[in-house]
Structure 1
């Protein structure tokens, strides 16, 4: 990893899980980690229920836009966290990969999205500790 490690969160639409994960990591790591997110089939906008769930914990993800996953983005990342993107997620030797099994918040009520948000926060805390330990 470089002086400033980079983490890429990937899900299908880049509108819920990956955006919430990126929001948590930006919030908890400040500017010590480069945070990226992308989707294999990006949506037109971030899931408004995910926006609301994150707003409840003081994190604003409204300025983010779903982005298409590119090989260059994946290749330039130190850690790649996948969340249900299947075969669309590229694999590069020497990268750290984790596949997080999370409920897709698309079409879910706020109570379910809150649970996903809280699960993601827990995983981000563990990820951050692991990255800091391995530096």
Structure 2
């Protein structure tokens, strides 16, 4: 089975998608190629995202936000969009899953506590995805909490 490539996407590529990528690298090791990008990439990582991952032994401090491109989508076997804010359409049929992640700020939870809850929500999903990919399931196989889009179009 060829090594699958997963692309995690959020808006700025400074928080949720970087958290997911870091957690997937830890969960899957060399069994999955991991990338992340933003639909409107920012200039730096979210310091609280970096801190929350460091607390569980994952270092993303050397990562930098990158802009999503059609080439990145095309190179992926699966694109995972974190949250509702980022919108990504498939390129050449690449499957796109949308993970509607927990947003603790809607409950008044802010700061590092918010980011820990976000991290833990993403970690559960990443672990399940890593197991699914390592078991040989096709990259685009949908999960109950994921929505798969199969629309045609270009990157937004």
User: After TM superposition, is the score higher than 0.5?
Assistant: yes
Deviations 1:51-76 (A, max 9, x none): 00000001001010000000000011
Partner of 2:4: 5
Check 1:115–1:47 CA distance in 2 against 1; reply closer, same or farther (3 A cut): same
**1:57 paired residue number:** 56
Once the two structures are superposed, the pairs formed by residues 1-135 of structure 1 within 5 Å of their partners are 3-83=2-82, 84-87=84-87, 89-103=88-102, 108-133=110-135, 134=137
4+ residue runs of structure 1 moved beyond 4 angstroms? 103-106
Which runs of 5 or more structure 2 residues have no equivalent in the other structure?
139-156
**TM norm structure 1:** 0.90
TM, length-normalised to structure 2? 0.78
CA distance in 2, matches of 1:57, 1:50: 11
Q: Counterparts of 2:46 and 2:103 in 1: how far apart (Å)?
A: 11
Q: Higher relative CO (CA 8 A, sep ≥ 6), structure 1 or 2?
A: 1
Count, aligned residues: 133
CA RMSD of aligned residues (A): 2.1
Q: Could you list the runs of 5+ residues in structure 1 that have no partner in the other structure?
A: none
Counterpart CA distance in 2 for 1:70 and 1:52 is 28
Q: Is the Cα–Cα contact under 8 Å of residues 17 and 105 in structure 1 kept in the other structure? A: no
Secondary structure, counterpart of 1:65 in structure 2: coil
Larger radius of gyration: 2
